[in-house]
Amino acid sequence: MQDTIFLDRLGAHAVAVETLLAALLSTSKRDGEIARPTRLFAAMRHGALNGGKRLRPALVIESAALFGGSAEAALRVAAALECIHCYSLIHDDLPAMDNDDLRRGQPTVHKAFDEAAAILAGDSLLTYAFEIVASSETPLAAEQKIDLTLALAQAAGPGGMAGGQALDLEAETKVLCEAEIIVMQSMKTGALIRFACEAGAIIGSAGRQERDRMIRFGQIIGLAFQLRDDLLDLVADSATLGKATGKDAARGKGTLPSLKGVAWTENRLAELIAEAQSLLSPYGARAAMLIKLASYVATREK
Amino acid sequence: MQDTIFLDRLGAHAVAVETLLAALLSTSKRDGEIARPTRLFAAMRHGALNGGKRLRPALVIESAALFGGSAEAALRVAAALECIHCYSLIHDDLPAMDNDDLRRGQPTVHKAFDEAAAILAGDSLLTYAFEIVASSETPLAAEQKIDLTLALAQAAGPGGMAGGQALDLEAETKVLCEAEIIVMQSMKTGALIRFACEAGAIIGSAGRQERDRMIRFGQIIGLAFQLRDDLLDLVADSATLGKATGKDAARGKGTLPSLKGVAWTENRLAELIAEAQSLLSPYGARAAMLIKLASYVATREK
């Protein structure tokens, strides 16, 4: 698959997700709702419609396509997952957490609105994600929706992403060993990415073996994503990256690239790309987009 | 039904919910979780195992019993709902929101731990609630679990409780009219109480008509709960209530009792009790506990 075809398709997924999120977060009241508070929804839109890469949604959509799952259902689950990702960014940016004023060049939600609005916008996006999955507008069987709800709650909750953020904050005051870094990262960033790939298998009614294969594929993508992120923080210049670099070192946070070195990291990333290709080889050309996504995640320059 | 029997049964429900929550929030890792961060789970327990009245769980349990629903399932849904109620208290207490140092005589979570831990403990309890409902340990059909997930997400989300808190914060800087107060309260406190009653009907596989009846019963209980709360804030002395009174007036917040007076409020509460009795009269003695709950909510002294 050529890079231009790949990038066009990635871009098209991002546009589709952005469009659906804009509709879901509009101010028009829906069934089952008492009212849609104007300022709260504005804060939710500020945090969710921010032109992100929409990597997780792309993984849901392409994984579902691999198993012939409903594209409409995949897009809705992708939007739900992105709501959770965006809530986590809003809360992570808060003064009591990472205290960031900017995200993608825009004021963070607590800067553009206020802290209370940012807390509530995050809470609301998190809760709304489960409504989107369970909604009658998501064309899936109840069993599939419950599988997705359970896997999403586990990926996002205290045994997954939220727990990973708690461990990451603790890491600012204590030095983590290699094993602790791996656990923390597999929770903080790995869990949602793994869910994205598993979700496609659920949407496509794949069997247990294929679902486990997609979980493993998601783990590989999650590892590669984090290694690449940490490597860029270590070696890229901030102009290329579009954000401050050296942040991890400045916060005293150990990462695998800082512990093991640049050469080890680049070698490990190449291994992960190869493992991803090998895992999906049974699907032949149908998995081309997912394999390209793995290599994109592991080699991106920002 | 005698008061002692009623109070004993209410107490037994509270103990059952507290016991299940303690087990669900223990540090032992469960299937699908990568790890359970010790301090995060301690903060979650601090916020959830606080000896509350457990009114919402009692409504789930008694409503499910009315329709012959599984007591085990009802207890788990009750615990999930209480996780959501407790998350909302943790976040509402934060410095950026109501800035409360004490809850039920104990330090609030951000005081006992820190702000970041309180934000993450709230996020985690909210997410975990959906895991509890969807879990294979909850003995319900997938359709029932999806109905519960959808109704719970709508009740807790931006069109429900979280939206009501956003409107309540705005009310500190602008004066709400009667209609706006009613909308705000039906979202902030009404939505979860209404869900509690509807949940029992779902757990007991009740038909549409009975489910709508329980939604209406939940609305009545929610209205009575809030009117009584506001009345106590207006007229009770703080020694009886065990917390500061006159808080609403001090914050410049209008309530229905402050707008319409004590006599109007007492009359309205009596009407609501009568309406609750009349709604459940088709169920005869089987609804005695729920009717008693309505009158308890409307007449409690704290």
Q: Which amino acid is at A182?
A: I
Two tokens, residue B207 = 């038909």
Numbers of helices and strands, H then E, in chain B: 16, 2
DSSP category for residue B113: S
Q: Do A124 and B163 touch (CB under 8 A)?
A: yes
Residue B174 is predicted with a pLDDT of 85
Q: Give CA angle at A125 (A119, A126), nearest 5°.
A: 90
Structure confidence at residue B254 (pLDDT):
80
- Interacting residues of B302 by C-beta distance below 8 A, sequence separation 6+: B232, B236, B240, B241, B242
Query: B123 and A120 in contact by Cβ < 8 A?
Result: no
For B31, residues 6+ apart whose C-beta sits below 8 A from its C-beta are none
The answer to whether the CB atoms of B37 and A166 lie below 8 A apart is: yes
pLDDT on residue B238 = 60
Q: Nearest-CA distance from B102 to chain A in Å?
A: 19
Distance between CA atoms of residues A194 and A196, nearest Å: 5
Residue B14 tokens read as 């509270």
What average pLDDT does range A233-248 have in this prediction? 69
Which among B34, B170, B182, B215 is the top mutation candidate for probing chain A, defined by the most A β-carbons within 10 Å of its own β-carbon?
Answer: B34
To the nearest whole Å, the CA of A109 is away from the closest chain B CA by 14
Whether the CA torsion A268, A271, A276, A277 is positive or negative: it is positive
Q: Do B119 and A160 touch (CB under 8 A)?
A: no
Residues of A in contact with B131 (CB under 8 A): 150, 153-154, 157
Identify all chain B residues contacting A94, using CB atoms and an 8 Å cutoff: 116, 119
Would you call A269 exposed, middle or buried from its count of C-beta atoms within 10 A (0-12, 13-18, 19+)?
Answer: buried
Does A116 contact B96 at a Cβ distance shorter than 8 Å? yes
Which residues of chain A does B116 touch, with a Cβ-Cβ cutoff of 8 Å? 94, 96-97, 169
Tokens representing B194 are 């209404």
pLDDT score recorded for residue B199: 98
Is the CB of A162 less than 8 angstroms away from the CB of B187? no
Contacts of A215 in chain B (CB under 8 A): none
Cβ distance of A37 and B119 shorter than 8 Å: no
B211 to chain A, minimum CA–CA distance in Å?
Answer: 14
Q: Is the Cβ–Cβ distance between B112 and B242 less than 8 Å?
A: no
Angle between helices B208-235 and B262-280 (to 10 degrees): 160
Task: Enumerate the residues of chain B whose CB falls inside 8 A of the CB of residue A80.
Answer: none
pLDDT recorded at residue B241? 59
User: How many Å apart are CA B54 and CA B10, to the nearest integer?
Assistant: 8
| pLDDT at residue A263 greater than cutoff 80 | yes
The upper half-sphere exposure of residue B129, i.e. CA atoms within 13 Å in the direction of its Cβ, equals: 33
Measured between CA atoms, the residue of chain B closest to residue A35 is B159
Which residues, including other chains, have CB under 8 Å from residue B53's CB and lie 6 or more apart?
Answer: B10, B14
Higher pLDDT among residues A263 and A253, named by residue: A263
Nearest to A169 by CA among B121, B28, B31, B98: B121
Cβ contacts of B267-270, under 8 Å, gap ≥ 24: B268/B227, B269/B224, B269/B227, B269/B228, B269/B231, B269/B298, B269/B299, B270/B298
Please list the residues that pair with A106 across neighbouring strands.
Answer: A103
Which residue among A115, A142, A157 sits closest to B127, beta carbon to beta carbon?
A: A157
Secondary element (H or E) of residue A103? strand A102-103
d(Cα B102, Cα A257) in Å, to the nearest integer?
Answer: 44
A–B CB contacts, 8 A cutoff, strictly below: 200
> What is the pTM assigned to this prediction?
0.97
Mean pLDDT of the region A191-197 = 98
CB A50 within 8 A of CB A106: yes
Inter-residue contact A114 to B96 (CB < 8 Å): yes
What is the DSSP code (8-state) at residue A67? T
Closest-CA residue to A166 (of B35, B28, B173): B35
Across A191-199, average pLDDT: 98
Determine the CATH number of domain B3-299.
1.10.600.10
Give the whole-angstrom CA distance, residue A55 versus residue A228: 14
Select from A109, A144, A146, A142 the least CA-distant residue to A130.
A146
Q: Which residues of chain A are within 8 Å of residue B119 when distances are taken between CB atoms?
A: 91, 94, 96-97, 119
Q: Which residues pair with A103 in a beta bridge?
A: A106
Kindly give the parts of chain B with pLDDT less than 50.
Answer: none
Residue A240 has pLDDT above 70, yes or no: no
Distance from CA of B286 to the nearest CA of A (A): 29
Report ipTM for this prediction. Answer: 0.96
Mean predicted lDDT score pLDDT of chain A: 94
Q: What mean pLDDT comes out for the span A59-87? A: 98
Predicted local confidence at residue B245, as pLDDT: 65
**Among the listed ranges A75-84, A121-130, A281-290, B30-39, which one has the minimum average pLDDT value?**
B30-39
User: Which tokens hold the place of B215?
Assistant: 């939604």
Most B CBs within 10 Å, among A31, A34, A147, to test the B interface: A34
Q: Given this model, what pLDDT does residue A243 score? A: 62
What is the H or E stretch that residue A107 is in?
strand A106-107
The pLDDT of residue A121 is above 80? yes
With cut-offs at 50, 70 and 90, classify the pLDDT of residue A245. low
Question: What pLDDT score does A2 carry?
Answer: 75
Beta bridge partners, B107, equal B102
